[in-house]
Structure 1
Amino acid sequence: MANLKEYFELSVEQSREGPSIQPGGISGSAKRGTERKLENQSFKEKYEAIIEVEKGLNTKKKIAEESGPTDVVQKRQTAEYTHRRRDHEGKGKIYAEQLGVSSTEFDCSGGWLERFKNRHGLCMKKINGEANSVDKTDAAYTMWQCRLKTILETYAADDIFKADETAIFYRALPEKTLEFKSIACHGGKASKKRLSVMVCANMSGTEKLPLLIIGKSLKPRCFRIIHHLPTTCRANKKAWMTPHVFTEWLSTLDEKMFRKRRKIAMIVDNCPAYPDVSDLKAIRFVILPPNTTSITQPMDQGVIKNLKIHYRKRVVSKINA
């Protein structure tokens, strides 16, 4: 720590002396008035700012406001704002003419578009999901709504389970990283090695069943000294869910619930890998109608996404450890 303080003090002294080829000195181009985006801060000031943020004594936004951009950045921002304002004014006049509104009734200012959006609650959103493709007037969807009401009336929230399958590319690294602005950031070919994972939990969220992991090897070499895993593992050549694997998993769960004297409802997608299993003693097997999973699938409402976020976080923590 003492060496670090001495380095900071040396950097401050050299910056006061003027041009120097030593670390911390001001280059000749900077002294001649080269335009910079932000005011230069010494190493000591930067270090103190980082410590303040980590201790919660200050925020990055306040530090940025205190540093402030130079006149060059302010002029550039002003020019961009002026150009954008003129473009909005021109568009506003065109719309007014098309609607038959005279210029005396509509005074188009630079911020009319932003005020219009705020007044009517308009904002930019990303289009995702396939909910609009579901035909809610279809007989199968209407029948499912009636069936769902019966299930909710018959079973408690703790006894309604939903299972869904997803894929995890366990060797794929994150697509984002920290890097210097001047360095191009390129990566290699992403790994396509995957595992199929069956996620199952009850409606209230109080009970999460162990994950069913399907890989290509039943006993990987990395687990040769491990005798117990907190998951159920199965394997086949393509690491896919198959009717045999699903039937075995559901039958095992049925025996478990029967021993506990519980009656539950198990809801799954309309998928060829999920056959209609008979002779279940404690499970009522329910299949969702086809082409409706985007709005009827509870696991697609953020449960699987949250699982993958936590998994990726642990992978990165292991890499950086």
Structure 2
Amino acid sequence: MVRKHARKPGSTYAAYSNKAMEDAMKAVSEGKLSIRSAAEKYSVNRCTLNRKLKGVHVQPYGRPPALSQDEEAVLLKSIITAAEWGFPLSCLDVRFIVKQYLDKKGVTVSRFKNNLPGEDWCRSYLGRHKDALTIRLSENIKRSRAQVNEETLREYFTNLKNSIQDIPVELLINYDETNLVDDPGKSKVIVRRGCKRAERIMDSSKATSSLMFAGTASGILLPPYLVYKAEHLYNTWQEGGPEGARYNTSKSGWFDSALFEDWFETVALAYFKKVATKDQPKALIGDNLSSHLTLSVIQKCEEYNIRFILLPPNSTHLCQPLDVAFFRPLKCHWRQVLMDWKMKHKGTIPKDVLPRLLKSTLKSLSPSIEKNLKSGFRATGIYPYNPEEVLKKLPATTIGNMSISDGLSKSLESYLRESRNATSTPKQKRRRLSVVPGKSVSGTSFQSEDDPDTPDLVSSEGEGNTPVSVTRATEEHTLQVSYTGDVQVGDFVVVRIKFAGPSNKMVDKYYVGQIYLELQGQYQCKLLRKSAKCDKTFIFPAVDDQWTFKMEDIIVVLPSPTIVRGRHKFKCNFSVVLQ
């Protein structure tokens, strides 16, 4: 088949569009034009127009397609369903599906090589169904996000309706954190034909800076909160930024509990105090990160009548207004501002320049900020309240009523359902091996030296990787204090956490943690990590590792440790005898 077909002069095939023929038929049917006049006006064949008006069968022009209309309709529904389930097909996938269908049917199409359609066929098929199909760049999402179901969302919206029904639109705030990268990304450029690598000289790095944004359902953007990855904060890092912006630092460069509390008091609470009275109901909507839920924030919310509303887990791409309609245009403007700066300067962005670039980004985005925020609240069904705005984005439960290849349709649906809800592969416990440099390693090196048949529960892999080993030990100085129920905020405890082990069986692991919040019969604690140098010494990681558990998961209450330079040393042994 010729890829770029050139129509021959004087060709007898139709030189008009279907719309032109429909307009001509409509003009004649309504008595506005005669058949001859309509044929001349719309440039259609007079004889063909006459036959169509009389209802005489007119064979479609052009070569008949390889698949019938019914078969193409089945393929169309299959392609749409696969995309809705999170597994969109490429043109190559569609071509192989058609080949498998033709082979199974026992039909050989001479125009296809080994029954495999070519790229031209796929392009023509998309052209015949351009009203329903298009080619787009795909975005990758995690399976945990794909498993958000209708039941979870309906429960969320039922609770949300009761929480925001009497709250003014200007007191309905959504917050979320994002980051600004130091890499403007790739862009299409013009180079010499045959050039294998199109390189552009531009300094970049993997450095990022965290930002907390918040906006109201009325379209008001609150001042941003910028967090640098550093130990100390300097005055030049705060100059030239957006009006009212706040600045802070952390070792990881991300938000932790202390930074979130500071943001809440200096940005969110400050805004509520400015526009509303203390007793007036307000709402703060955000994700369910444990670092965003602290005792201090909850107490402040109760004091100022602020309803702290959490989104369902793994649903921010559907329910978070800032994620849905604000962050994407923000990142587009940021990349443009970043590229303009890098074209004139060398090196990566200094921290004292970042506030000015952020201000330029928000200034260029300012004409559409209010519109984007309102669109985000509307698209997530929060304001105006409309759960169907989110529920309609979930994949259809069935492919539909298909008259052809129904077995293929059911197998496709079953495959998509299994792929979307696939279970994750459990991580196997590992430990560092003591080997001589230059000497090969055998399989026995992976067994515990004390008991080759028993996996080693205690690892010396380093800080931040090892749970507390809990065995039925009988050696001296073993801690044998069982949980009695008198747990208070600030206590150090050993908690049991369940994980999916081999063959998806739930296994128990035990960690040391400090309780910092008790809420509705549940406890929240910050987990410590074992020091690589001493089994009785623990430290808090740079990024808070928090966990929520019930009373029955508390194994033992530990005595207060001795704290030296951030290291918590306990006097007891951690081989706990389970009662």
Q: TM-score range by the shorter chain?
A: 0.5 to 0.7
Q: Secondary structure at the match of 2:214?
A: strand
Q: Given the alignment, which residue of 278, 293, 299 partners 1:275?
A: 293
Compare CA radii of gyration and give the structure with the larger one: 2
Q: Given the alignment, which residue of 303, 320, 331 partners 1:297?
A: 320
Partner of 2:284: 266
Deviation of 1:319 after TM superposition, in Å, equals 3.8
1:210-229, Cα deviation, whole Å (9 max, x unpaired): 111000245347548x3875
Partner of 2:134: 123
Q: Secondary structure at the match of 2:176?
A: strand
**Residues 100, 117 of structure 1: CA spacing in aligned structure 2 closer, same or farther, 3 A cutoff?**
farther
**Distance in 2 (alpha carbons) for counterparts of 1:180 and 1:315:** 23
Q: Given the alignment, which residue of 160, 164, 187 partners 1:176?
A: 187
Identify which range, 265-274 or 297-306, moves more after superposition.
297-306
> How do 1:206-285 residues align onto structure 2 when only pairs under 5 Å count?
206-217=219-230, 219-220=233-234, 222-223=236-237, 226=239, 230=243, 231-252=245-266, 253-262=268-277, 263-276=281-294, 277-279=297-299, 280=301, 281-285=304-308
Structure 1, gaps ≥5 residues long? 1-77, 104-108
Partner of 1:53: none
**Distance in 2 (alpha carbons) for counterparts of 1:179 and 1:166:** 33
Partner of 1:63: none
Q: Given the alignment, which residue of 129, 140, 143 partners 2:155?
A: 143
Deviation of 1:294 after TM superposition, in Å, equals 2.3
1:98-135, Cα deviation, whole Å (9 max, x unpaired): 547898xxxxx997755544444233334325496133
**Distance in 1 (alpha carbons) for counterparts of 2:147 and 2:160:** 17
Please tell me the residue identity of whatever aligns with 1:216. K
Partner of 1:67: none
Partner of 1:312: 335
Partner of 1:29: none
**Distance in 2 (alpha carbons) for counterparts of 1:259 and 1:242:** 26
Q: Secondary structure at the match of 1:267?
A: strand
**Residues 127, 174 of structure 1: CA spacing in aligned structure 2 closer, same or farther, 3 A cutoff?**
closer
Q: Secondary structure at the match of 1:161?
A: strand
Deviation of 1:165 after TM superposition, in Å, equals 0.8
Q: Given the alignment, which residue of 187, 200, 210 partners 1:196?
A: 210
Please tell me the residue identity of whatever aligns with 2:222. L
Q: Given the alignment, which residue of 198, 213, 219 partners 1:185?
A: 198
Deviation of 1:190 after TM superposition, in Å, equals 4.3
Q: Secondary structure at the match of 1:155?
A: coil
1:133 lines up with 2:146 in the alignment: yes
User: Are the counterparts in 2 of residues 162 and 202 from structure 1 also a CA contact under 8 Å?
Assistant: yes
User: Are the counterparts in 1 of residues 202 and 343 from structure 2 also a CA contact under 8 Å?
Assistant: no
User: Are the counterparts in 2 of residues 268 and 286 from structure 1 also a CA contact under 8 Å?
Assistant: yes
Please tell me the residue identity of whatever aligns with 1:246. F
User: Are the counterparts in 2 of residues 257 and 282 from structure 1 also a CA contact under 8 Å?
Assistant: no
The TM-score normalised by the length of structure 2 is 0.35
User: Are the counterparts in 2 of residues 199 and 304 from structure 1 also a CA contact under 8 Å?
Assistant: no
Deviation of 1:150 after TM superposition, in Å, equals 2.4
User: Are the counterparts in 2 of residues 214 and 233 from structure 1 also a CA contact under 8 Å?
Assistant: yes
User: Are the counterparts in 2 of residues 195 and 214 from structure 1 also a CA contact under 8 Å?
Assistant: yes
**Distance in 1 (alpha carbons) for counterparts of 2:155 and 2:100:** 50
Identical columns (%) = 21
The TM-score normalised by the length of structure 1 is 0.59
**Distance in 1 (alpha carbons) for counterparts of 2:298 and 2:220:** 24
Partner of 2:509: none
**Distance in 2 (alpha carbons) for counterparts of 1:234 and 1:251:** 14
**Residues 97, 275 of structure 1: CA spacing in aligned structure 2 closer, same or farther, 3 A cutoff?**
closer
**Distance in 2 (alpha carbons) for counterparts of 1:270 and 1:80:** 53
Please tell me the residue identity of whatever aligns with 1:258. K
**Residues 274, 227 of structure 1: CA spacing in aligned structure 2 closer, same or farther, 3 A cutoff?**
same
Please tell me the residue identity of whatever aligns with 2:210. S
Q: Secondary structure at the match of 1:306?
A: helix
User: Are the counterparts in 2 of residues 201 and 208 from structure 1 also a CA contact under 8 Å?
Assistant: yes
**Distance in 1 (alpha carbons) for counterparts of 2:102 and 2:226:** 61
**Residues 156, 311 of structure 1: CA spacing in aligned structure 2 closer, same or farther, 3 A cutoff?**
same
Structure 2, gaps ≥5 residues long? 6-62, 68-94, 110-116, 345-579
**Distance in 2 (alpha carbons) for counterparts of 1:173 and 1:135:** 32
1:66-104, Cα deviation, whole Å (9 max, x unpaired): xxxxxxxxxxxx85458xxx9x9697798567547898x
**Distance in 2 (alpha carbons) for counterparts of 1:128 and 1:310:** 20
Q: Secondary structure at the match of 2:210?
A: strand
User: Are the counterparts in 2 of residues 130 and 294 from structure 1 also a CA contact under 8 Å?
Assistant: no
Identify which range, 232-241 or 188-197, moves more after superposition.
188-197
Q: Secondary structure at the match of 1:163?
A: strand
Deviation of 1:318 after TM superposition, in Å, equals 3.1
**Distance in 1 (alpha carbons) for counterparts of 2:136 and 2:188:** 25
User: Are the counterparts in 1 of residues 233 and 248 from structure 2 also a CA contact under 8 Å?
Assistant: no
**Distance in 2 (alpha carbons) for counterparts of 1:249 and 1:94:** 58
1:127-182, Cα deviation, whole Å (9 max, x unpaired): 325496133244x433211022224422233221111111211x324322635325
Q: Secondary structure at the match of 2:170?
A: helix
**Residues 134, 296 of structure 1: CA spacing in aligned structure 2 closer, same or farther, 3 A cutoff?**
farther
User: Are the counterparts in 2 of residues 254 and 282 from structure 1 also a CA contact under 8 Å?
Assistant: no
**Distance in 2 (alpha carbons) for counterparts of 1:114 and 1:227:** 52
**Distance in 2 (alpha carbons) for counterparts of 1:114 and 1:181:** 28
Q: Secondary structure at the match of 2:298?
A: coil
**Distance in 1 (alpha carbons) for counterparts of 2:274 and 2:100:** 74
Partner of 1:36: none
